[in-house]
Amino acid sequence: MSGAALCALERFYFAIETIAKTPRNDALTALFRMPVLFLLLAIAAGFAGPARAQSAVAEGQKLAFDRGKGNCLTCHVIKGGDLPGTIGPELKDIKSKYPDRNELVAIIFDETKRNPQTMMPPFGRNRILTEQEISAIVDFLQTL
């Protein structure tokens, strides 16, 4: 075969190879990128999850201690709170006493349902606290 023919043949093969490889390479790169993407997403979710929970706990504590909002300290001793009253029981070991958070939501929403004689204001029924605020307070109570 002449040199020119060989050269043309080589170019032909090179062209075929390039065409054949390109899409497969793209697919391969995409395939390798996928786990990296998932890993990044998982890491992001891992960081965002506890961070969000942490901010709800801090918000709940603020609301519970706020004299114009939850005002829970007027009647309950709560770790970290100043000048508590003792009309109600100390709020501690809450998660073991009430493993079901719905029970806590119900107590804060309207304790008169459980105990019609209670001194505890029905925070939800009287719209002193919104559902979201009650939920944040419950997140905080579960850390006690």
Contact residues toward ligand HEC (CB under 6 A) are 64, 70-72, 74-76, 87-89, 91, 97, 104, 107-108, 111, 114-115, 118-121, 123, 137, 141
Report in angstroms how near the CB of residue 110 gets to ligand HEC at its nearest: 11
Report in angstroms how near the CB of residue 56 gets to ligand HEC at its nearest: 14
Packed helices 131-141 and 101-110: angle between N→C axes, nearest 10 degrees: 130
Nearer to ligand HEC, 21 or 95 (CB): 95
Nearer to ligand HEC, 11 or 114 (CB): 114
Report in angstroms how near the CB of residue 115 gets to ligand HEC at its nearest: 3
Nearer to ligand HEC, 56 or 88 (CB): 88
SS3 for 67?
coil
Type of residue numbered 115: N
Q: Is the separation of the CB atoms in 140 and 95 below 8 Å?
A: no
Report in angstroms how near the CB of residue 53 gets to ligand HEC at its nearest: 18
* Beta-carbon contacts of residue 114 (< 8 Å; ≥ 6 apart): 106, 107
Structure tokens at 74: 């007027």
Q: What are the DSSP E strand ranges found in the chain?
A: none
Q: Is the separation of the CB atoms in 131 and 124 below 8 Å?
A: yes
Nearer to ligand HEC, 43 or 93 (CB): 93
